Structure 1
Amino acid sequence: MSLTGLSAMAHADSASQDFVPVTVKSTSAQAETKGFFEDQSLSGTTRNWYAHERATRQALFKHQSSDGTSHPTHKRTNWVQGTILNYTSGFTEGTVGFSTEVAAYNAIALERGRATVAGPNNRTLTHRDGDVIGQWSKMGLANVKARVSNTTLTAGRQSIDTPVLAYIANRALPSSFEGVSLHSAEFDNISFDLGTFDRLSTRTEQGTSKFVAEYGDRAFEADHVNIGGINYQPLKSLKTSFYVSNVEDLWNQYYFGATHELGDSSVLSLSTGLNYYKTVDEGKSLLGDIDNDTYSLAFGLTHQAHTLTFSWQQVNGDEYFDYLHDTNAIFLANSLLSDFNGPNEKSLQINYSLNMAQFGVPGLKFSLYNARGWGIDGTNYKGTAYDVKKMDGENHYEWGFGTSYAVQSGPLKDTAIRATYTAHRASKNQGDGSLDEFRLVTTIPFNIL
């Protein structure tokens, strides 16, 4: 579940519209380092992740019995405890500083019933026959960093969060990527990202794999993913970003995004979020011809504790708007339980959120939304990599509500508890099907060093 592109923000004062000149930072992160061991830390999180799904029409899941017989089922329950132990050193002193980051990931399946888990899936690690693997571990992160001033080069397994390649953390454990990246923040209001990656460490696997499409034929793999981007803040109230990615022999993707804040939330403020993707086939075009323009535009009105957001999203193309599997590289406002990214799909979401800090309960939030998608049409698709040709006027809708609480103080400070209930209903050939889902996720951070 991805909710990106626009977030409600509370402002004590009216959002400034002042121009921000491009200036070199007066401070250097490397000059302020205290040393490799002096700045080291050992910390982590443990997450209890529970989800129960119920298909309301046809059976959407299946499981295998011990004799290899496949059985369709309307229900699926996954319950996993995921723990991350992360060691991060400081940077060595000098003009060029070096550091390292290592994170061990561990998962324990608390629900191990073969029929209940209904694997294989991307929630609980199982063998190919669906038999649950009770406990497993892997090195989730392992990299070396070199820094000059405010520019850092990272080599190894790492987390990247950009509109065209982003780790996803909506399961018990997150995904990560193997490669080399460069992040430069030498200016106060401009930063740059470059990277090249060749392997993916998924959320629910011990090993690594090549990159594949989320919605396209996964028989076609990309050997390399190359990214580049710039983030620029021309006004105190306006942030923009432009990113490009090359997924070798699959596609080239171009992204532009902007967020703007106007007004004072104690009276009334307006948040505007724009996200636009252009995707075209590349190289050997293993997924066939791709020519896709997709965008979302969201407007959020905030008055004190209350935020009401309207989000419009549209896909212009005869295939899905696609992104890389096991990533969160879909910075679109209507990416929810469903991504609302079918061929030629139009969708509208209305979201209401309530921040209880205004009523003396900081950390407690509620949200309620309804989203509808229509006009899904893949009948003009000429290729074979996307299963869309039967989609002719398909439609679907989704609604959900949730609550979250973050502990504000004490030994459990920053512990987060989130409960959500989502219902999705779809026409016959819409790809997500009709189901209800309840999730309960508790994440507890801890510090050892």
Structure 2
Amino acid sequence: MKLSSTALLALAISSITANAYADPASQDFVPTTLAGSSAQSEAKGFIDGQSLGGTTRNWFSNEQKFRGGKFTYQKHGEARTDAYRTNWVQGTILNYSSGFTQGTVGVATEVAAYNAVVLDRSKRDIKGGSNRTLADSNGDAVDQWSKLGLANVKFRVSNTTLTAGRQNFSSGIVDTIGNRALPSSFEGVSFNSEEFSNLSFQGGVFDRVSPRTEQSLSKFRTEYGNGAETDKVNTLGVNYQPFKSLKTSLFAANVEDFWNQYYFGATHELGDSQTLALTTGLNYYKTVDTGKKLMGTIDNDTYSLSLGLTHQAHSLTFSYQAVNGNEYFDYLHETNGIYLANSLTSDFNGPNEKSFQIAYGLNMAEYGVPGLKFNIYSARGWGIDGTHYTGDGGRAGFAYNGIQAQDGEKHQEYGIGTSYAVQSGPLKATAIRATYVTHRATANQADGNIREFRLVTTIPFNIL
């Protein structure tokens, strides 16, 4: 990884601040020992350990394209356009989890039914459907639909669990994404091992994804590619906490005939937020093509470095991000496999792009209103250059269409948001979040010119 002078400066600032405000106790080394207890030895049984509950989420979004941008939809067989798109969906998850049976090998199961009710069914509003509202082949909203979001069997020995079936999984490369009315999930086999005090291992083999706004399973494809599909995703990694203040994660994934991708992440915390606390975050991805190279020739190094300062209710974060490669930094569609600091409404992941973000947060708990938070941010990306992209490699041709037209493109994004989590009563833990974002870009930048207001309310509930 080649760090720019800006990144090196940020690291230097981090080091200086650390020396000034470090809390010695927070820097203690954490020895690696066997876990103090066995989760399986404490199993309550299949019935006694069961639970039934879930969430219901009201998800509303209104978007407006500007500077000539338009959404397109079909009406009476004709293509029509306008600048607005509205999606409003109620998504509900009913989740049943059994307890683990007792004994050396515990067995459990998890089943979750996902249901969506479309509250805005206007063809003109939804613009023919997207990953926000499910629509049929005519572009009409599917008024109500359901599916099995999760359905798996789990086997546990000591603190190691093997899960087979439709499931959630979380890592820096393959991660369930939940930013719509319903989340995604993955079909396959995975394991999670926590046999040590500060060291855990995860891995999985997945062949299908259950998308956020689709009823059926799909093959994996990429977020920015040409629609090519892969039959298998293999991933393996480790999470390690060498110091009380430092958490690290290292993962690798083979996406069959697409790429091999490697991820390293680290978060370091220092100081006391009542005086001054410093949080430094580093995320790094290396992506290289493999197999049939269905996404073309790829040799991409992408990283982000963030520096966050917190004093009581106030936080200020600076984030620098760089893409070193002639193609997008790409990741798997229907996953949250992008842990970069400047992945916002735009991912700021264009070829050879550099970006910088400054963000401010206010936690009103310090002023007697726990659960209420505000945030505002500004991010700028520049130097986008796809003119050296060749698109060659196997059968791919141009996997990233239009990328060669990106020559010196730049863009900027502004956002403001507020959230509130109910602290007590029958609606305890209900989360309400409102955000407003504006994104402006030059002609050939991929995300265009758009404004969006989003209001999301998530209510958890327990039955058993």
Query: What TM-score do the two structures reach when normalised by structure 2?
Result: 0.93
Which residue of the partner structure matches residue 181 of structure 1? Answer: 190
2:86 is aligned, of 65, 77, 89, to 77
Question: Counterpart in 2 of 1:244?
Answer: 252
Q: Percent identity?
A: 68
Matched residue, 2:179: 170
Corresponding residue for 1:438? 453
Are 1:61 and 2:76 matched, yes or no?
A: no
1:419 aligns to 2:434 (yes or no): yes
- SS across alignment from 2:111: strand
- 2:111 is the alignment partner of 1:96: no
Q: 2:56 aligns with which of 46, 51, 69?
A: 46
Contact 2:280 2:306 in 1 (8 A): yes
Q: Specify the alignment match of 1:301 in structure 2.
A: 309
- 8 Å contact from structure 1 (residues 15, 263) kept in 2: no
Q: Indicate conservation of the 8 Å contact 1:357/1:363, yes or no.
A: yes
Displacement after TM superposition at 1:254 (Å): 0.3
Measured in 2, the distance between the counterparts of 1:102 and 1:318 equals: 43
1:361 pairs, out of 347, 352, 369, with 369
Q: Distance in 1 between matches of 2:26 and 2:130?
A: 47
User: What is the match of residue 277 of structure 1?
Assistant: 285
Corresponding residue for 1:351? 359
Tell me the residue number matched to 2:444: 429
SS at match of 1:324: coil
Quote the offset at 1:73 in angstroms. Answer: 1.8
Give the drift of 1:420: 0.2
Residue identity in the other structure for 2:223: E
- Preserved contact between residue 69 and residue 449 of structure 2 (Cα < 8 Å): no
Deviation of the 1:385 alpha carbon: 0.5
| Aligned match of 1:122 | 131
Q: Contact between 1:15 and 1:262, CA under 8 Å: does it hold in 2?
A: no
SS at match of 1:283: coil
Q: Which deviations, in whole Å up to 9, do the C-alpha atoms of 1:195-224 show, x marking residues without a partner?
A: 000001000000010000100111x11100
Picking from 125, 139, 147, the partner of 2:148 is: 139
In the TM superposition, what is the alpha-carbon distance from 1:119 to its structure 2 partner? Answer: 2.1
Deviations 1:171-197 (A, max 9, x none): 000000000001000001000011000
Partners of 1:195 and 1:73 lie apart in 2 by 43
Give, in angstroms, the shift of residue 246 of structure 1: 0.5
State the AA in 1 paired with 2:320: W
Q: Name the structure 2 match of 1:390.
A: 405
Could you list the structure 1 runs, at least 4 aligned residues long, displaced by more than 2 angstroms after superposition: none
Select the structure that is richer in helix: 2
Q: Structure 1 residue 340 and structure 2 residue 348: aligned?
A: yes
Q: Structure 1 pair 141/430, CA: closer, same or farther in 2 (3 Å)?
A: same
Q: Which moved more, 1:78-87 or 1:54-63?
A: 54-63
3-state SS of the aligned residue for 1:16? Answer: helix
Q: Residues 137-161 of structure 1: CA distance to partner in whole angstroms, max 9, x if unpaired?
A: 0000000000000000000000011
| SS class of match (1:121) | coil
Please report how far the alpha carbon of residue 130 of structure 1 lies from its aligned counterpart in structure 2 after TM superposition. Answer: 1.1
Cα distance, 1:72 vs. partner? 1.9
Counterpart CA distance in 1 for 2:77 and 2:369 is 52
Aligned alpha-carbon RMSD (Å): 1.0
- Distance in 2 of aligned mates of 1:286 and 1:42: 43
8 Å CA contact 1:59–1:72 kept in 2: the answer is: no
Gaps of 5+ in 2: 1-22, 392-397
For residues 14 and 446 of structure 1, the distance between their equivalents in structure 2, rounded to whole angstroms, comes to 42
Structure 1: gaps of 5 or more residues: 1-12
* SS of residue in 1 equivalent to 2:125: helix
Q: Which shows bigger deviation, 123-132 or 136-145?
A: 123-132
Which among 360, 382, 388 is matched to residue 374 of structure 1?
Answer: 382
Equivalent-residue separation in structure 2 for 1:240 and 1:207 (angstroms): 35
Q: CA deviation at 1:15?
A: 6.2
For the pair 1:325 / 2:333, whether they are aligned, the reply is yes
Task: Give SS of 1:31's match.
Answer: helix
The amino acid across from 1:407 in the alignment is: V
CA distance in 1, matches of 2:103, 2:31: 30
- 1:3 aligned partner: none
